């Protein structure tokens, strides 16, 4: 029997009072890698924001990592997000502190206090993304690909069941994009993390094929054609 990490049934997704996507029916299983594609303004970001609780689901049904999206409150959204890793296109690293301090800041913010465990966790996630020796570096001392690896390491800090990657190769050259894609597929395979990756890059999809969900004309199409 399928184990769904996220599932939406007959969900209507709104931005304010504007209906963005109607009658959304999708399910993503544990360990799956899924692309989310769609032109700007077709609801891709709204769908992602609904999945991590920034937009409220009021119509239809939805669950993400065991949380009922309709029952979320400002008190419970942080608990949902502790089970989700988010990878940003713009990295969003703190420029005034080292890679190590960036990661420690996140762990402190979510309540980690034991210094030994903090050091072990930081070493673990940096090892997973191939940056074990780069913890002392500042973001400006790293290449774009290395900064994206730090962003992925940050997303792994809570051993998330689900990773939402928003255009993670958008600012990278093709060779570096390939490195990041290989890393994401490795994380999916080796750590059984479910990954939903939003992208505009059809070259990446063709090179690293996986199931594709598309937002178009107010609808969500599962396993859609990737012809742009």
- Mean pLDDT score, 130-142: 94
User: How sure is the predictor about 224, in pLDDT bands with cuts at 50, 70 and 90?
Assistant: low
* DSSP of 51-99: HTTSS---EEEEEETTEEGGG--TTTHHHHHTTEEEE-TT----TTS-H
Which residues lie across from 17 on neighbouring strands? none
Q: What kind and span of H or E run contains 144?
A: helix 144-155
Contacts of 160 (CB under 8 A, 6+ apart): 65, 83, 84, 85, 193
Token readout for 106 is 């996140």
> pTM score > 0.85 for this model?
yes
What pLDDT was estimated at residue 1? 67
φ and ψ of 51, to 5 deg: -65, -30
Cα(83)–Cα(116) distance, rounded to whole angstroms? 22
pLDDT in tens, 8-57: 999 999 999 999 999 999 999 999 999 999 988 899 989 999 999 999 99
Cα(37)–Cα(5) distance, rounded to whole angstroms? 19
CB atoms within 10 A of CB 9: 13
Token readout for 198 is 């939003």
Cα(80)–Cα(63) distance, rounded to whole angstroms? 10
Cα(86)–Cα(161) distance, rounded to whole angstroms? 11
φ and ψ of 199, to 5 deg: -155, 155
- Mean pLDDT score, 162-191: 92
Domain 1-83+161-228 has CATH 3.40.50.300: yes
List the domain boundaries for the chain: 1-83+161-228, 93-159
What pLDDT was estimated at residue 2? 72
């Amino acid at each position: 029997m399928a184990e769904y990490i996220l599932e939406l049934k007959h969900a209507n997704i709104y931005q304010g009072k504007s209906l963005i996507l109607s009658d959304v029916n999708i399910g993503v299983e544990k360990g799956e890698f899924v692309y989310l594609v769609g032109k700007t303004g077709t609801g891709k970001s709204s769908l992602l924001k609904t999945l991590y609780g920034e937009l409220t689901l009021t119509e239809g049904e939805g669950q993400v990592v065991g949380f009922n999206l309709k029952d979320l409150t400002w008190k419970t959204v942080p608990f949902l997000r502790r089970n989700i890793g988010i990878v940003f296109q713009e990295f969003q690293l703190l420029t005034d502190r080292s890679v190590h301090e960036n990661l420690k800041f996140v762990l402190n913010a979510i309540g980690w206090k034991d210094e030994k465990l903090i050091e072990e966790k930081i070493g673990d996630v940096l090892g997973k993304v191939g940056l074990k020796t780069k913890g002392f570096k500042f973001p400006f001392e790293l290449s774009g690909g290395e900064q994206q690896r730090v962003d992925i390491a940050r997303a792994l800090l809570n051993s998330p069941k689900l990773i939402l990657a928003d255009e993670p190769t958008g600012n990278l050259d093709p060779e570096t994009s390939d490195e990041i894609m290989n890393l994401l597929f490795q994380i999916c395979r080796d750590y059984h993390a479910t990954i939903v990756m939003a992208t505009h890059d059809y070259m990446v999809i063709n090179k690293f094929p996986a199931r594709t969900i598309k937002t178009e004309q107010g609808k969500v199409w599962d396993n859609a054609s990737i012809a742009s």
